[in-house]
Protein backbone atom coordinates (compact mmCIF):
# COMPACT_ATOMS: atom_id res chain seq x y z
CA UNK A 1 0.00 0.00 0.00
CA UNK A 2 2.83 2.40 0.85
CA UNK A 3 4.39 1.65 -2.52
CA UNK A 4 1.09 2.40 -4.30
CA UNK A 5 0.67 5.67 -2.38
CA UNK A 6 4.24 6.68 -3.25
CA UNK A 7 3.65 6.02 -6.96
CA UNK A 8 0.42 8.05 -6.86
CA UNK A 9 2.21 10.95 -5.18
CA UNK A 10 4.94 10.87 -7.81
CA UNK A 11 2.36 10.87 -10.61
CA UNK A 12 0.61 13.87 -9.04
CA UNK A 13 3.88 15.76 -8.88
CA UNK A 14 4.67 14.96 -12.49
CA UNK A 15 1.19 16.11 -13.58
CA UNK A 16 1.65 19.40 -11.73
CA UNK A 17 5.01 20.00 -13.40
CA UNK A 18 3.61 19.21 -16.84
CA UNK A 19 0.63 21.48 -16.26
CA UNK A 20 2.97 24.32 -15.39
CA UNK A 21 5.13 23.78 -18.47
CA UNK A 22 2.64 22.68 -21.09
CA UNK A 23 0.35 24.64 -23.37
CA UNK A 24 0.95 27.81 -25.28
CA UNK A 25 2.24 30.98 -23.73
CA UNK A 26 -0.08 33.67 -25.05
CA UNK A 27 1.07 37.25 -24.94
CA UNK A 28 0.54 39.12 -21.70
CA UNK A 29 1.41 36.08 -19.56
CA UNK A 30 4.71 35.56 -17.80
CA UNK A 31 7.54 34.36 -19.99
CA UNK A 32 9.96 31.65 -18.86
CA UNK A 33 12.49 34.24 -17.78
CA UNK A 34 9.99 35.77 -15.35
CA UNK A 35 9.30 38.83 -17.50
CA UNK A 36 5.85 39.87 -18.60
CA UNK A 37 5.39 38.92 -22.27
CA UNK A 38 3.71 40.87 -25.07
CA UNK A 39 3.47 39.52 -28.62
CA UNK A 40 3.12 41.79 -31.66
CA UNK A 41 2.26 40.49 -35.12
CA UNK A 42 3.32 42.87 -37.89
CA UNK A 43 3.74 43.15 -41.65
CA UNK A 44 6.10 46.12 -41.26
CA UNK A 45 9.44 46.14 -43.01
CA UNK A 46 12.59 44.93 -41.23
CA UNK A 47 14.04 48.38 -40.58
CA UNK A 48 10.81 49.57 -38.99
CA UNK A 49 10.59 46.44 -36.85
CA UNK A 50 14.15 46.95 -35.61
CA UNK A 51 13.38 50.55 -34.62
CA UNK A 52 10.14 49.66 -32.83
CA UNK A 53 11.77 46.73 -31.03
CA UNK A 54 14.60 48.93 -29.78
CA UNK A 55 12.31 51.75 -28.59
CA UNK A 56 9.87 49.42 -26.85
CA UNK A 57 12.79 47.67 -25.19
CA UNK A 58 13.95 50.99 -23.74
CA UNK A 59 10.48 51.89 -22.50
CA UNK A 60 9.61 48.44 -21.10
CA UNK A 61 12.86 46.87 -19.88
CA UNK A 62 11.00 44.39 -17.68
CA UNK A 63 8.72 43.17 -20.45
CA UNK A 64 9.65 40.57 -23.04
CA UNK A 65 8.33 42.03 -26.29
CA UNK A 66 8.18 39.50 -29.11
CA UNK A 67 7.65 40.95 -32.60
CA UNK A 68 6.71 38.38 -35.21
CA UNK A 69 7.27 39.48 -38.82
CA UNK A 70 4.68 38.28 -41.32
CA UNK A 71 3.82 39.05 -44.92
CA UNK A 72 0.64 41.00 -45.64
CA UNK A 73 -1.33 37.87 -46.54
CA UNK A 74 0.25 35.82 -43.77
CA UNK A 75 -0.79 38.36 -41.15
CA UNK A 76 -4.37 38.21 -42.38
CA UNK A 77 -4.56 34.42 -42.47
CA UNK A 78 -2.85 33.96 -39.10
CA UNK A 79 -5.20 36.34 -37.31
CA UNK A 80 -8.17 34.70 -39.01
CA UNK A 81 -7.05 31.19 -38.05
CA UNK A 82 -6.10 31.94 -34.44
CA UNK A 83 -8.98 34.22 -33.44
CA UNK A 84 -9.20 35.30 -29.81
CA UNK A 85 -6.92 32.44 -28.75
CA UNK A 86 -4.10 33.94 -30.77
CA UNK A 87 -0.64 34.34 -29.30
CA UNK A 88 -0.88 37.84 -30.76
CA UNK A 89 -1.71 40.65 -28.36
CA UNK A 90 -1.12 43.64 -30.64
CA UNK A 91 -1.32 43.78 -34.43
CA UNK A 92 0.61 46.46 -36.28
CA UNK A 93 0.67 47.36 -39.97
CA UNK A 94 -2.39 45.29 -40.88
CA UNK A 95 -3.72 46.52 -44.24
CA UNK A 96 -7.03 48.32 -43.65
CA UNK A 97 -9.05 46.19 -46.07
CA UNK A 98 -7.66 43.05 -44.40
CA UNK A 99 -8.74 44.42 -41.03
CA UNK A 100 -12.24 44.76 -42.49
CA UNK A 101 -12.14 41.20 -43.81
CA UNK A 102 -11.38 39.95 -40.30
CA UNK A 103 -14.07 42.07 -38.66
CA UNK A 104 -16.66 40.97 -41.17
CA UNK A 105 -16.13 37.37 -40.07
CA UNK A 106 -15.57 38.02 -36.34
CA UNK A 107 -16.93 41.49 -35.43
CA UNK A 108 -15.60 41.44 -31.87
CA UNK A 109 -12.11 40.06 -32.52
CA UNK A 110 -10.41 43.42 -31.98
CA UNK A 111 -10.50 45.36 -28.71
CA UNK A 112 -12.52 48.58 -28.65
CA UNK A 113 -10.28 51.66 -28.81
CA UNK A 114 -12.91 54.29 -27.98
CA UNK A 115 -10.89 55.48 -25.00
CA UNK A 116 -8.07 56.63 -27.30
CA UNK A 117 -7.93 60.11 -28.82
CA UNK A 118 -8.82 59.84 -32.50
CA UNK A 119 -8.80 63.61 -32.99
CA UNK A 120 -5.05 63.35 -33.63
CA UNK A 121 -5.68 62.12 -37.16
CA UNK A 122 -5.77 64.19 -40.31
CA UNK A 123 -9.18 64.44 -41.98
CA UNK A 124 -7.86 62.59 -45.03
CA UNK A 125 -7.64 59.26 -43.16
CA UNK A 126 -10.57 59.39 -40.73
CA UNK A 127 -13.35 58.05 -42.93
CA UNK A 128 -13.39 54.82 -40.94
CA UNK A 129 -13.94 56.51 -37.57
CA UNK A 130 -17.64 56.95 -38.19
CA UNK A 131 -18.00 53.17 -38.37
CA UNK A 132 -16.07 51.80 -35.40
CA UNK A 133 -13.00 52.23 -33.19
CA UNK A 134 -11.70 48.67 -33.36
CA UNK A 135 -8.48 49.66 -35.07
CA UNK A 136 -6.46 52.82 -35.58
CA UNK A 137 -4.36 53.94 -38.53
CA UNK A 138 -0.61 53.58 -37.97
CA UNK A 139 0.53 54.56 -41.44
CA UNK A 140 -0.20 55.62 -45.00
CA UNK A 141 2.04 54.31 -47.77
CA UNK A 142 2.06 55.98 -51.17
CA UNK A 143 3.63 54.30 -54.20
CA UNK A 144 6.11 55.68 -56.74
CA UNK A 145 8.77 54.47 -59.18
CA UNK A 146 12.44 53.90 -58.46
CA UNK A 147 14.51 54.23 -61.63
CA UNK A 148 18.05 53.01 -62.27
CA UNK A 149 19.34 55.73 -64.59
CA UNK A 150 22.54 53.80 -65.35
CA UNK A 151 20.59 50.90 -66.84
CA UNK A 152 18.51 53.30 -68.93
CA UNK A 153 21.58 55.24 -70.05
CA UNK A 154 23.19 52.02 -71.29
CA UNK A 155 20.16 51.55 -73.51
CA UNK A 156 19.96 55.24 -74.50
CA UNK A 157 16.53 55.55 -72.91
CA UNK A 158 15.11 58.54 -71.05
CA UNK A 159 13.59 58.37 -67.57
CA UNK A 160 9.80 57.94 -67.97
CA UNK A 161 7.89 60.69 -66.17
CA UNK A 162 4.30 59.43 -66.25
CA UNK A 163 2.24 56.26 -66.00
CA UNK A 164 1.58 56.42 -69.74
CA UNK A 165 5.28 56.62 -70.61
CA UNK A 166 5.83 53.32 -68.76
CA UNK A 167 3.83 51.70 -71.58
CA UNK A 168 6.26 52.64 -74.37
CA UNK A 169 7.63 49.52 -76.10
CA UNK A 170 11.25 50.55 -75.52
CA UNK A 171 10.80 49.71 -71.83
CA UNK A 172 9.93 46.08 -72.55
CA UNK A 173 11.48 43.75 -69.97
CA UNK A 174 12.76 46.65 -67.86
CA UNK A 175 9.94 47.05 -65.32
CA UNK A 176 9.07 45.17 -62.15
CA UNK A 177 6.05 45.55 -59.86
CA UNK A 178 4.60 43.57 -56.94
CA UNK A 179 1.81 41.13 -57.71
CA UNK A 180 -1.50 42.62 -56.47
CA UNK A 181 -2.62 39.19 -55.28
CA UNK A 182 0.25 38.87 -52.79
CA UNK A 183 1.29 42.46 -52.06
CA UNK A 184 -0.59 45.41 -50.61
CA UNK A 185 1.79 47.69 -52.53
CA UNK A 186 0.95 45.96 -55.78
CA UNK A 187 -2.77 46.07 -55.07
CA UNK A 188 -2.70 49.80 -54.30
CA UNK A 189 -1.05 50.45 -57.72
CA UNK A 190 -3.67 48.26 -59.41
CA UNK A 191 -6.56 49.88 -57.55
CA UNK A 192 -5.15 53.36 -58.07
CA UNK A 193 -5.02 53.04 -61.83
CA UNK A 194 -8.50 51.48 -61.97
CA UNK A 195 -9.78 54.35 -59.83
CA UNK A 196 -8.09 57.02 -61.94
CA UNK A 197 -8.83 55.59 -65.40
CA UNK A 198 -12.02 53.63 -64.82
CA UNK A 199 -12.22 49.85 -64.90
CA UNK A 200 -12.19 49.33 -68.69
CA UNK A 201 -9.32 51.72 -69.39
CA UNK A 202 -7.50 50.63 -66.25
CA UNK A 203 -7.56 46.99 -67.36
CA UNK A 204 -6.26 48.05 -70.77
CA UNK A 205 -3.46 49.96 -69.02
CA UNK A 206 -2.25 46.85 -67.18
CA UNK A 207 -2.62 44.73 -70.31
CA UNK A 208 -0.25 47.14 -72.05
CA UNK A 209 2.06 47.43 -69.02
CA UNK A 210 2.29 43.64 -68.82
CA UNK A 211 4.23 43.61 -72.10
CA UNK A 212 6.97 45.63 -70.38
CA UNK A 213 7.04 43.71 -67.08
CA UNK A 214 10.06 41.53 -66.45
CA UNK A 215 8.80 40.17 -63.13
CA UNK A 216 5.84 40.32 -60.76
CA UNK A 217 7.14 39.82 -57.23
CA UNK A 218 5.37 38.45 -54.16
CA UNK A 219 7.05 41.05 -51.95
CA UNK A 220 6.28 44.76 -52.11
CA UNK A 221 9.92 45.75 -51.59
CA UNK A 222 11.49 43.26 -54.01
CA UNK A 223 11.14 45.37 -57.21
CA UNK A 224 13.02 48.32 -55.71
CA UNK A 225 15.82 46.02 -54.57
CA UNK A 226 16.00 44.59 -58.08
CA UNK A 227 16.31 48.11 -59.52
CA UNK A 228 19.19 48.89 -57.16
CA UNK A 229 20.96 45.71 -58.31
CA UNK A 230 20.38 46.66 -61.94
CA UNK A 231 18.20 43.60 -62.66
CA UNK A 232 15.49 45.99 -63.87
CA UNK A 233 15.51 49.68 -64.73
CA UNK A 234 12.12 50.70 -63.32
CA UNK A 235 10.46 49.44 -60.14
CA UNK A 236 7.16 50.25 -58.51
CA UNK A 237 7.46 50.44 -54.73
CA UNK A 238 6.71 52.39 -51.59
CA UNK A 239 7.59 56.06 -51.92
CA UNK A 240 9.61 56.18 -48.70
CA UNK A 241 11.65 53.13 -49.66
CA UNK A 242 12.25 54.47 -53.16
CA UNK A 243 13.54 57.78 -51.75
CA UNK A 244 15.80 55.97 -49.28
CA UNK A 245 17.27 53.78 -52.01
CA UNK A 246 17.85 56.83 -54.21
CA UNK A 247 19.60 58.60 -51.32
CA UNK A 248 21.83 55.63 -50.63
CA UNK A 249 22.73 54.49 -54.15
CA UNK A 250 24.35 56.40 -57.00
CA UNK A 251 22.44 56.50 -60.26
CA UNK A 252 18.99 56.05 -58.74
CA UNK A 253 16.13 58.53 -59.05
CA UNK A 254 12.48 58.61 -57.98
CA UNK A 255 9.59 59.33 -60.34
CA UNK A 256 6.46 60.81 -58.76
CA UNK A 257 3.85 61.04 -61.54
CA UNK A 258 1.95 64.32 -61.63
CA UNK A 259 -1.35 62.48 -62.15
CA UNK A 260 -1.22 61.42 -58.51
CA UNK A 261 -0.03 58.58 -56.31
CA UNK A 262 -1.96 55.54 -55.20
CA UNK A 263 -1.81 54.81 -51.48
CA UNK A 264 -2.94 52.38 -48.82
CA UNK A 265 -3.69 52.66 -45.11
CA UNK A 266 -2.41 50.32 -42.41
CA UNK A 267 -3.81 49.70 -38.96
CA UNK A 268 -2.93 48.78 -35.40
CA UNK A 269 -4.96 47.45 -32.49
CA UNK A 270 -5.29 44.76 -29.84
CA UNK A 271 -6.93 41.35 -29.80
CA UNK A 272 -10.11 41.51 -27.71
CA UNK A 273 -9.58 40.25 -24.17
CA UNK A 274 -5.80 40.61 -24.39
CA UNK A 275 -5.89 44.27 -23.39
CA UNK A 276 -6.39 43.19 -19.77
CA UNK A 277 -3.32 40.93 -19.73
CA UNK A 278 -0.09 42.12 -18.16
CA UNK A 279 1.51 45.03 -19.98
CA UNK A 280 -0.38 44.66 -23.26
CA UNK A 281 -2.44 47.84 -22.93
CA UNK A 282 0.55 49.82 -21.63
CA UNK A 283 2.63 48.76 -24.63
CA UNK A 284 -0.15 49.55 -27.08
CA UNK A 285 -0.83 52.93 -25.46
CA UNK A 286 2.83 53.88 -25.76
CA UNK A 287 2.86 52.71 -29.36
CA UNK A 288 -0.29 54.69 -30.12
CA UNK A 289 0.40 57.87 -28.15
CA UNK A 290 4.18 58.20 -28.32
CA UNK A 291 6.08 55.89 -30.66
CA UNK A 292 4.13 55.84 -33.90
CA UNK A 293 4.65 59.53 -34.73
CA UNK A 294 8.47 59.37 -34.75
CA UNK A 295 8.23 56.03 -36.55
CA UNK A 296 6.28 57.76 -39.31
CA UNK A 297 8.80 60.61 -39.51
CA UNK A 298 11.65 58.13 -39.91
CA UNK A 299 10.12 55.65 -42.29
CA UNK A 300 6.72 56.44 -43.84
CA UNK A 301 6.07 60.18 -43.56
CA UNK A 302 2.90 60.29 -45.67
CA UNK A 303 0.44 62.38 -43.71
CA UNK A 304 -1.91 60.64 -41.28
CA UNK A 305 -1.76 63.03 -38.30
CA UNK A 306 -3.19 66.53 -38.16
CA UNK A 307 0.10 67.56 -36.56
CA UNK A 308 2.38 65.39 -38.68
CA UNK A 309 6.08 65.53 -37.77
CA UNK A 310 8.50 66.57 -40.49
CA UNK A 311 9.96 63.77 -42.58
CA UNK A 312 13.44 62.72 -41.51
CA UNK A 313 14.13 61.21 -44.94
CA UNK A 314 16.26 63.50 -47.09
CA UNK A 315 14.71 64.56 -50.41
CA UNK A 316 11.27 63.30 -49.42
CA UNK A 317 8.57 65.10 -51.48
CA UNK A 318 7.04 67.94 -49.51
CA UNK A 319 3.71 67.31 -51.16
CA UNK A 320 2.19 65.27 -53.95
CA UNK A 321 -1.23 64.71 -55.46
CA UNK A 322 -3.13 61.69 -54.16
CA UNK A 323 -5.43 59.50 -56.19
CA UNK A 324 -8.81 59.31 -54.43
CA UNK A 325 -8.77 55.56 -53.91
CA UNK A 326 -11.98 53.61 -54.53
CA UNK A 327 -13.01 50.81 -52.18
CA UNK A 328 -10.23 51.46 -49.70
CA UNK A 329 -12.16 49.67 -46.92
CA UNK A 330 -14.27 47.40 -49.14
CA UNK A 331 -12.98 43.84 -49.16
CA UNK A 332 -15.62 42.70 -51.66
CA UNK A 333 -14.45 45.41 -54.06
CA UNK A 334 -10.86 44.26 -53.58
CA UNK A 335 -11.72 40.62 -54.17
CA UNK A 336 -13.61 41.57 -57.31
CA UNK A 337 -10.55 43.38 -58.69
CA UNK A 338 -8.21 40.55 -57.76
CA UNK A 339 -10.46 38.02 -59.48
CA UNK A 340 -9.96 40.01 -62.70
CA UNK A 341 -6.14 40.16 -62.41
CA UNK A 342 -4.69 37.85 -65.06
CA UNK A 343 -0.92 38.27 -64.81
| Domain boundaries of the chain, sorted by first residue | 26-139+266-298, 141-263+319-340
Q: State the Cα–Cα distance between residues 236 and 221, nearest whole angstrom.
A: 9
No. of H helices and E strands in the chain? Answer: 12, 9
Contact indicator for 284, 101 with CB cutoff of 8 Å: no
Q: What is the DSSP string of 66-111?
A: EEEE--HHHHHHHHHHHGGG-S-SEEEEEEHHHHHHHHHH-TTSBP
Please give the C-alpha separations between residue 297 and each of 59, 111, 177, 303, 306, in angstroms, as whole numbers.
19, 27, 25, 10, 13
Q: State the Cα–Cα distance between residues 223 and 225, nearest whole angstrom.
A: 5
Mean pLDDT lowest for which of 159-163, 200-204, 311-315, 326-330? 326-330
Mean pLDDT lowest for which of 122-136, 190-204, 305-319? 122-136
Q: State the Cα–Cα distance between residues 108 and 271, nearest whole angstrom.
A: 9
Q: CATH top-level class for 26-139+266-298? A: alpha beta
Query: Which pLDDT score is estimated for 144?
Result: 97
Query: Which pLDDT score is estimated for 23?
Result: 36
Same fold, 26-139+266-298 and 141-263+319-340: yes
Query: Which pLDDT score is estimated for 130?
Result: 61
CATH number of 141-263+319-340: 3.40.190.10
pLDDT-based confidence at residue 32 (cuts at 50, 70, 90): low
Query: Which pLDDT score is estimated for 34?
Result: 62
Whole-number average pLDDT of the chain:
89
Query: Which pLDDT score is estimated for 186?
Result: 94
> Using one digit for the tens of pLDDT, what is the confidence trace for 45-85?
899 999 999 999 999 999 999 999 998 889 999 999 999 99
Amino acid sequence: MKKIMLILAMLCCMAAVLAGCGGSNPGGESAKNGKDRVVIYTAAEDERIAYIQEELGKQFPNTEIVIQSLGTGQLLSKLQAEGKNSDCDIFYDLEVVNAEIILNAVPDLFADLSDYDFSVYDASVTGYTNRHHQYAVNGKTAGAFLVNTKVLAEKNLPVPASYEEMLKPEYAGLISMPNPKSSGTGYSYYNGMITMLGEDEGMKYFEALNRNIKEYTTSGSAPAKAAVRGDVAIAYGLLWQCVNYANENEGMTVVVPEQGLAFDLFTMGMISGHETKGSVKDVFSYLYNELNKPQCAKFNPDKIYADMPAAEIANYPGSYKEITMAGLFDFEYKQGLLDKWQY
